[in-house]
Amino acid sequence: MLHFKFAKETPLARAFAQVRRPFSKVHGFYHYLGLHVKFGLWVAWTAAMVGIFCGVLLGVGKRYNNLGSIILTSGGNASGVSLIGHVYNVDITSRTVQISWLIIGCGEMQMPGSTTYGVESCGRLSIAADFYVDGAQSPNGSYDPDANPKRADGTQSSIYVQALNEFQTTHLIEISSWNGLDQQYAYPFDTYYLGSSVIARNAATNESLPVLTYHPVDSTNNFAPFIVDDSATFTSSNGSTTLGHYMRIEFSRTAFTQFFVMSLFLVNWALTAVVLYITLSANEGNDVGESILLLPLSVIVTIPGLRALWVGAPAFGLLLDSAGFFLQMVIVALCSIFLVVNVALSSPEEKARRKQKHRRLVPSEPECLAMSEPEWKETHGLANALAYEQKMEVA
């Protein structure tokens, strides 16, 4: 009976072969394409990715930052003052948040003929008011509807000036710890909380005004605010009741920021894995070109460069540094030292001895099985085995 030599195929290898089969067909078809067609495909793929990222980001922002619906949901059909905050600075180092508050009047306090963000029941505030934030003794902001200039062309329509219809405040982020560590240690999944209260008073009578809305609505510095608590409040003093509003906001980094930082983190680990593979390959005695030996040295410079691209450029000492940057630099440095000392500076004889020492053990005689044995048929397929036998018999 005819015998032949072959390498055994494991079930795992057969499973990988089945998974790769459709990709192999696409890969083979791709190689038949011309250079211009390949270039056009890559340009189209890149443009599609840019469009997807931009569309998703703009779509999410438009969905969650619809100011008109926020004003209506927060009491736009009632009478009172709404304060919509635009966050323009989040300083994690000093733990402060700076917000510009847009003053809006709704219901009976709406200036006639004015609207805001498509809400017919709200517009500019019609009465002068002072605003006290977080128990301040003096007003943090004041508003006077008569201070807005009017056109001198006969229409006498009021002109909107942002500085006259907004006021700015600085808030302190709640100081706490994350599992006994600094809040920023969990970067880019760190979260921060801010609590604040406000009181609005009529500038002429000093009576408190109902505050319908008091919270920020947009993102900045790659932070997005989420409402934890938004409640109307009151305080009693000397038999008088003062109306107010309380908010508690959570600031988390945007999803795109988290995706970008984690992508750079994984890229650094991929570079580290490539350097480690080259080192192990060289240690096995495989030939490593001099140009490849320069790769670990360039990776040592690349990893800190990618680390510096993290959003906000946080200081060293984060969780990702402990599980990434520190280990990556140590591994790449050790691999570089090994490649320079044991590979680049070694003689050809030493490389040959290393290859002989670490070569893989193989049987001196390849395994030979009969063509008709069940094990071969199970491994390579019964149909192929029978076809090969018939071919040998004809020959």
- Class of CATH domain 66-146+156-253: mainly beta
Helices (H), the chain: 11-31, 35-64, 67-73, 162-165, 255-283, 290-308, 319-320, 326-338, 348-358, 374-380, 382-394
Between CA 283 and CA 275 the distance in angstroms is 12
Mean pLDDT of all residues in 176-183? 79
Segment 226-252, tens digit of pLDDT: 889 988 898 876 667 888 999 999 999
Domain boundaries, the chain: 66-146+156-253, 255-361
- Separation of first and last alpha carbons in the chain: 14
244 in Cβ contact with 168 (< 8 Å): no
Q: What pLDDT was estimated at residue 297?
A: 84
Is the pLDDT score of 7 beyond 70? no
Q: Mean pLDDT in the chain? A: 80
Segment 297-352, tens digit of pLDDT: 889 999 999 999 999 888 888 999 999 999 999 999 999 888 888 776 666 666 66
For the beta carbon of residue 165, count every other beta carbon within 10 angstroms: 18
Between CA 291 and CA 261 the distance in angstroms is 30
Would you say the pTM of this structure is higher than 0.75? no
